[in-house]
């Protein structure tokens, strides 16, 4: 399961707070307290977002492994989904309608949108793997299933199953 950072406006965040699974978490300050100079924290989503958009966001809470941030300066009714540690390549903006969220309830609406975004991530990563040929690096050994069953890995079972399906055709 992917970890997501979700950025929305006040209207969206208020709807998220209606979820029975929402846990409030106001996070930490934007600035590092290590020195007397004000420096943005390294390795935080808030800092990355600020560098990209020049807008400060405020952590509001989380639902499971999804962290929600409030951006007061969003002009449109959109929600930004950012995949943790891959924010540069996996950014998704989804329009939202408050009436739609209220009809479905926030948990159902959010589940549907995350399912869509997760499938897009899965498809794009599969395409990248096929282009780079990384899928062929560790395919496993189908003969291990019979020759050395004590050391069979999941990749070996997958390779055996692929070979079995080819032979059945």
Asked whether 30 and 73 are in contact (CB, 8 A), the reply is no
| Structure-model confidence comparison of residues 66 and 138, the more confident one | 66
Which of the 8 DSSP states describes residue 133?
A: T
pTM over 0.85: no
Q: Where are the beta strands (DSSP E) in the chain?
A: 4-8, 23-24, 31-32, 39-40, 58-63, 66-70, 78-83, 91-95
pLDDT of amino acid 167: 82
Structural domain for 8, as ranges: 4-132
Average pLDDT (96-119) is: 89
Average pLDDT (111-116) is: 90
pLDDT of amino acid 156: 79
Q: How many domains does the chain have?
A: 2
Q: In this structure, are 42 and 118 located in the same domain?
A: yes
Q: In this structure, are 148 and 122 located in the same domain?
A: no
The CA distance from 117 to 104, in Å, is 18
**What are 60-97's pLDDT values in tens digits?**
999 988 999 999 988 888 999 998 888 788 889 999 88
Mean pLDDT of the chain: 82
| Structure-model confidence comparison of residues 75 and 1, the more confident one | 75
The CA distance from 52 to 92, in Å, is 14
Q: In this structure, are 26 and 105 located in the same domain?
A: yes
Q: What's 104's domain CATH number? A: 3.30.1930
Q: In this structure, are 152 and 89 located in the same domain?
A: no
Which token pair is 154? 């999941």
Average pLDDT (143-150) is: 76
Q: In this structure, are 111 and 126 located in the same domain?
A: yes
Q: In this structure, are 77 and 128 located in the same domain?
A: yes
Average pLDDT (153-168) is: 80
The CA distance from 142 to 152, in Å, is 9
Q: In this structure, are 12 and 74 located in the same domain?
A: yes
pLDDT of amino acid 135: 47
The CA distance from 131 to 134, in Å, is 8
**What are 3-44's pLDDT values in tens digits?**
899 999 999 999 999 999 999 987 766 666 665 666 666 667
Asked whether 150 and 131 are in contact (CB, 8 A), the reply is no
């Amino acid at each position: 399961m992917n970890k997501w950072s979700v950025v929305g406006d006040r209207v969206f965040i208020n709807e998220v707070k209606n979820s029975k699974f929402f846990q409030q978490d106001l996070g930490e300050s934007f600035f590092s307290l290590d020195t007397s100079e004000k420096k943005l924290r390294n390795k935080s989503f808030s800092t990355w977002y600020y560098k990209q958009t020049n807008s400060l966001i405020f952590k509001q809470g989380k639902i499971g492994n999804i962290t929600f941030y409030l951006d007061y300066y969003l002009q449109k009714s959109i929600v930004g989904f950012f995949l943790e540690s891959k924010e540069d390549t996996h950014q998704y903006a989804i329009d939202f309608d408050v009436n739609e969220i209220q009809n479905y309830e926030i948990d159902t609406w959010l589940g549907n949108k995350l399912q869509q975004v997760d499938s897009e991530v899965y498809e794009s990563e599969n395409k990248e793997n096929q282009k780079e040929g990384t899928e062929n690096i560790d395919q496993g050994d189908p003969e291990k299933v019979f020759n050395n069953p004590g050391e069979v890995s999941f990749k070996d079972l997958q390779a055996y199953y692929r070979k079995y399906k080819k032979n059945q055709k």
